[in-house]
Amino acid sequence: MSVSAVSGGRKRLSEGLTVTQKVFVRSRNGGATKIVREHYLRNDIPCLSRSCSICPTIVVPDAKNELPKFVLSESPQDLKNIGKHYTVLDTNIVLQAIDLLENPNCFFDVIVPQIVLDEVRNKSYPVYTRLRNLCRDSDGKKRFIVFHNEFSEATFVERLKDESINDRNDRAIRKTCEWYLDHLAKSEIKIILVSNDRLNRISASDEKFITKSLYEYVELLPNSDEVKESMPNLDSSQYNKDAESINEFSYPEFYPTSRIMGGLKNGSLFQGNIQISEYNFLEGSVNIPSFSRPVLVVGQKNLNRAFNGDQVIVELLPESQWKAPSTVALDAEHYDVNDNPENDNEVDANLIADSQRRLLAENAITAQKSNKVQPTARVVAIPRRSWRQYVGQIAPNSVDTQTGGTQNVFVILMDKCLPKIRIRTRRATELLSKRIVVSIDSWPSNHKFPLGHFVRNLGGVEEAQAETEALLLEHDVEYRPFSKKVLECLPEEGHDWKAPVDLKSQDAIAKDPLLQKRVDLRDKLICSIDPPGCVDIDDALHAKKLPNGHFEVGVHIADVTHFVKAGTPLDAEGASRGTSVYLVDKRIDMLPMLLGTDLCSLKPYVDRFAFSVIWELDENADIVKVDFSKSVIRSREAFSYEQAQLRIDDKNQTDELTLGMRALLDLSIKLKQKRLDAGALNLASPEVKVHMDSETSDPGEVEIKKLLATNSLVEEFMLLANISVARKIYDSFPQTAMLRRHAAPPSTNFEILNEMLQKRKGLSISLESSKALADSLDRCVDKKDPYFNTLVRIMSTRCMMAAQYFYSGAYSYSDFRHYGLAVDIYTHFTSPIRRYCDVVAHRQLAGAIGYEPLDLSHRDKNKMEMICKNINRRHRNAQFAGRASIEYYVGQVMRNNESVETGYVIKVLNNGIVVIVPKFGVEGLIRLENLTKDTSSANFDEVDFKLTFTQIDTGKQREIHVFDKVEVQLKSVLDPVTSKRKAELLLK
């Protein structure tokens, strides 16, 4: 390779320039190591503008032999007094105004320098992902591109002596602007650098390109009034001419980084994620490994602007301030509803202190009487925010409907654990009674509430489409249509795709060389058993008796990975979504419908590719041997659970398929008993089903889900398949196998429930092992009330740890255990159409049996950690979204169906009781003011879990204990403050 000297520490190579950097790294023993890094530069990186005549002649194909698409328009937006222009973004603009960049009505033909992309990635990965999607999926309208300035000879800049990294990066962005302006001089397209960094704009003042702040740029747009609605509210004084001048309210300032680092090191400060109480928004808890119980954070000042889910640094308070968890119900929705949004920091300090201290003082007295005192702390820093887009509605009493114009208003969020947000809008009156999306921009220490901006209007309150979209956004569920690049990964034949009839056909093998490794199982009597109306059929089964008296049992799972190849846009989309989401009225698919409901779905009467697990089981359902293979199957029938049960029970049915189903049922009973004997838990949740009218799509009635023996049949063999696959992939990939674990619950989780049971029923739950827990749950019965055992199981479920996906190298084998299932190793393999974990498990199993090599991304610990972290979050969000959908539709069903129902008290508080109504699967707080007229005479006994009061309608003294069976009047009401429909319970 020829080398010649080039100025500035660069060498000219035959393929381009290289920049050599020498870095000295100090080692632990005080020495220094010299590291030499070479940074290669190129002269063929295109500008990607259609108006350019130079770049199309120098551009070269990428690794896939594809040429880049020239995206930037030859006729970009023409602004008054400026003309046609391209926009270059600074890092701060992306971080502060990503919502604005995604707005379809502004910001076209945008250049994102690579250095900006890198900086955004380091500072906020969620924003980075949104920016990447914006550039990757850029359509013919928005036209966003990434320009790799760091690898271009013309735009790379070296860091100067004594120059900060930030200043060097700003200079690199300005250099990119200069190059584009010169490069496109013939086309007369102007370059505008948009930056909120004043010093960066000053440094660019001598350049030929134009610089504007975000506000200045938006002012130039023809639709500026509309766009300003989504402007980030970073400094109210910038856009608010009547800015606050009195700063009586203030939060404590956060500790500097040096103090935080020192405190974490010497053990005086602690780090963890804060969880806000679902019953009291002024109380949070932080789990710290060195503490047996969570540390409490109580009160507005101690929470210090922390949001639910934030990563926080906390400092313990003096022991004299330690207390028990709150026994007061307090939500953000109805707290300080009369605050003035125009002056949210001009508050009466005494009023705030009194209103909070009255509630907290009652708590403190109770805490001193109990032995449940926990350490308390205050938040001193927030290293990582959990901020995202939020759904809410404008508080009507914060809107001045008389004056109109631009004004500050409060938005009350759907999540009752979060504070209201202050936004500035000119559409306040128009947006009343609407579900709107907002983003948070900042939370200065002198503002009582966070500052944010309006993003978009979803529609009217209680409009089905608006409410569904609201809950999807609120639970961070990706529901946008699949992009063009994703859809391009699907088979060209579309719905006409068919599995080859002859697996040995040379033509078929030429198209798919792996076909010859498939096993033909089309002669097996296979069927599927699913919920009624299921179209994404993941699994099917078969069983037949062998000559030796044993049984051949097969579980056949849709072969999704035949269509979803690692590293493709389709795979990336599936990995990002993580799971399908099931709502009452719709399903949000993880994969495009062509795969989920057709080509992958194991529909009856057609040939389908599958991944099969086939066991030989003896008469006791013990495994004699197991085989794994990619296969071709033909399902004979698709049953619903009820249809399968009827067929099994019909003694007139004696065909081979029915006999196989009966064998499956018999074996499943034995498998379940073995699991229960080993200590598997049989927990419960208040699950209900909402029936929808097939014509109007209106909710009709609510019923409690019924489980048949066929439900258990399918469950047992899916569990067996998951366990068998887990062992196989762990044997082959001991460091990166995709597994699922369920940790044993700490005894502190069950303390309160055990106290309740001991005090009220003379019972207790044992936690020595999962077997001991299961046996003790069986003993929790009340002969007078058969539902009591189910109630205890529901409450026990809430005390358990959440199961989580992990890769095998992250834990020792002893920690792989799934506590609830009482097995030493477990994974998810049986639902690849709707879970990405299963897709990874399929690929690893294919590698384990030698079907095809495993992609490197599933052999890399760091990448597996990212996958696991994402699918854990997505799985949790999908569960919450499903429950929220049921809650909404149950509320709609109850709108005109006020009734008296049986309920059970599951929590007794200082100012109310929490009651669950099994028939509708709803629970709600009955506040003290709805129980009695004289709240001051009510008495809360925390030791006996008892609330004594004078009942409103009878005037008689009444005692309510936890676990009491009560009659409640149940009706659906629309909260006037939050515009949320919810079940209102009144004690009868």
Q: In the CATH hierarchy, which top-level class contains the domain 250-341+354-386? A: mainly beta
At residue 27, the pLDDT reads: 60
Pick the residue with more confidence: 548 or 893? 548
Burial of residue 78 (CB within 10 Å: 0-12, 13-18, 19+) is exposed
Pick the residue with more confidence: 326 or 389? 389
Q: For residue 121, which amino acid is it? A: R
Pick the residue with more confidence: 210 or 206? 210
At residue 238, the pLDDT reads: 44
Q: How many CB atoms lie within 10 A of CB 116?
A: 26
The CA distance from 945 to 761, in Å, is: 12
At residue 897, the pLDDT reads: 76
Task: Write out pLDDT tens, residues 694-724.
Answer: 555 556 566 666 778 889 999 999 999 999 9
Q: Give the pLDDT mean for 302-329.
A: 86
DSSP 221: S
Model confidence, pTM: 0.83
The CA distance from 479 to 978, in Å, is: 25
Tokens 């009444």 label which residue? 958
The CA distance from 117 to 128, in Å, is: 7
Q: Give the pLDDT mean for 544-557.
A: 96
Task: Write out pLDDT tens, residues 27-61.
Answer: 656 666 666 777 788 888 999 999 999 999 888 88
Sheet holding 3-6, edge to edge: 3-6, 10-13, 16-26, 32-41
Q: How many CB atoms lie within 10 A of CB 607?
A: 15
pLDDT-derived band at 935, boundaries 50, 70, 90: confident
Q: Note the Cα 752 to chain centre separation in Å.
A: 29
Q: Give the pLDDT mean for 952-977.
A: 86
Domain with CATH 2.40.50.690 in the chain: 250-341+354-386
The CA distance from 99 to 95, in Å, is: 10
Contact 591, 574 (CB under 8 A): yes
Q: What percent of the chain clears pLDDT 90, i.e. is strictly above it?
A: 56
Superfamily the domain 67-229 falls into = 5'-nuclease (3.40.50.1010)
For residue 915, pLDDT over 90 is answered with: yes
Task: Write out pLDDT tens, residues 330-370.
Answer: 665 555 555 666 655 544 433 334 444 344 445 544 543 45
Domain with CATH 2.40.50.140 in the chain: 898-987
Q: What percent of the chain clears pLDDT 70, i.e. is strictly above it?
A: 87
Domain with CATH 3.40.50.1010 in the chain: 67-229
In sequence order, what DSSP letters do the residues of 512-545 get, joined into one string?
Answer: -GGGGG-EE-TTS-EEEEESTT--S--EEEEEEE
Task: Tell which CATH classification among 2.40.50.100, 3.40.50.1820, 3.40.190.10, 2.40.50.140 matches the domain 898-987.
Answer: 2.40.50.140
For residue 7, pLDDT over 50 is answered with: no
Task: Write out pLDDT tens, residues 827-836.
Answer: 999 999 999 9
At residue 682, the pLDDT reads: 84
Average pLDDT, rounded, for the chain: 86
Pick the residue with more confidence: 63 or 624? 624
At residue 232, the pLDDT reads: 87
The CA distance from 236 to 745, in Å, is: 47
Q: Give the pLDDT mean for 137-159.
A: 88
